Amino acid sequence: MRLALLGAVLLVLGGIAMVTGILPPQDALAVADRVWPILLFAVAITVVAELASEAGVFSVVAERTARAARGRAWVLWLFVIVIAVVSTAFLSLDTTAVLLTPVVVLVATAHGLPPLPFALTTVWLANTASLVLPVSNLTNLLSLDVLGFSDPYRFFALLLVPAVVAIVVPCLLLLVIFRRDLATKFEPQQSAPPADPVLFWLSAVVLVALLPLLVTGIPVWIPSSVAALVLVVAFAIRRSRTVRFSLIPWQLVVFASGLFLVVEAGHSLGMTAALAQVAGTGTDLGSLLRLSLSGLVGSNIVNNLPAYLALEPVAGEPVRVAALLIGVNAGALITPWASLATLLWHSRLNSLGVEIRWSRYMLLGLLVAPLTVVAATVVLALTS
């Protein structure tokens, strides 16, 4: 509700900017035309992920993974890494942070393993692995307009190596920090069958069919909306209580809508010129680091989405846009509000009785975020 209230305030400020002439109506319409497909995709993919979770898809995958690990915690952890990367890449960072985290934590605790290494793995990779594909993060989808990419494989090729580095660095740090916990063994347990096999298999088929469609170049809101509609109809028939308004991330929609208007008004007031002095220009290593670290700082001061929107006009060419994405995505690991997914992740952990103090989270973030951003940016400079 706080997010919705903040979004409402931003919408009012955006309306005032339009009425006073700070934000011309044609600019506001251009913003709306740019963002409606992105917000529709965010709504649709959230509905798909929530209903797939209700059907037990994530739980079954996690339980089968635990059995495949054959009692070795470090093998289970490696499987969690793979699942988190795939989930983030195709279903967005929010899916990994909000829906995968509870499943992974429950599997860990059910097998007598400490949940914290697995919980931190999902939230860190939710952010850093969101460099893989355009659909992984709203910032990526926004960047396609600047990059001029209609083919998601061009985005993938541009950020593949930095994304791999952004995945590996946090995992190495987690391995060092939690090496003793991950060296333990556990007794595999028999998994329970899904409550409704029809909904389970339908959800699984829809997900399997959806994933490749998200990287074909078709506007992503189309296949995700069709998938959401199929699942909503199926659940309305077989388990109507699960089809509820709260499936829609309306608070995010309100917040993002207001945010887009306010940031656009800021650009009209000369914000771009001021930020250009901070983020610099050029494509040499020093310039790229300057931009990516600006994104890191901006994300952790305000949030990764407004940080990207504010700095986007000073990025320009593809390699600089890639550096900015590294900063705002992989760098959003320090403050709780740097990524909305992190706040939702922490809320889910609290509901499961798993405690991690924000002070500890921020100290770990101060270690992992700069290392990850710098390493990924250096690799970007060397490979571009």
Tens digit of pLDDT for each residue in 28-42? 888 888 888 888 888
- The per-residue pLDDT for 230 is 95
**Rounded-to-10 torsion of CA 11, 13, 19, 23:** -90
Residue that the structure tokens 């290392």 belong to: 371
Confidence bin at 13 (pLDDT 50/70/90): confident
In terms of Cα–Cα distance, which of 322, 307, 339, 334 is closest to 379?
A: 322
CB burial of residue 270 (10 Å; 0-12, 13-18, 19+): exposed
**Percent above pLDDT 90 for the chain:** 44
Could you tell me the CA-to-CA distances from 172 to 77, 78, 164, 178, 329 in Å, in that order? Answer: 12, 11, 12, 10, 18
CA angle 247, 126, 152 (to 5 degrees): 90
- Give the tokens for residue 309: 């929107």
**CA–CA distance, 350 with 232 (Å, rounded to integer):** 29
Q: What is the pLDDT of residues 275-334, one digit of tens each?
A: 777 777 888 999 999 999 999 998 998 888 888 988 988 888 899 999 999 999 999 999
What angle do helix axes 285-301 and 318-325 make, rounded to 10 degrees? 40
The answer to whether the CB of 108 falls within 8 A of the CB of 229 is no
- In a 13 Å sphere around the CA of 127, the CA atoms on its Cβ side amount to 38
Which helix (H) or strand (E) segment is 104 a member of?
Answer: helix 101-110
The dihedral of CA 256, 144, 160, 376: what is its sign? negative
Type of residue numbered 113: L
Chain Cα centroid distance, residue 331: 12
| DSSP character at residue 185 | B
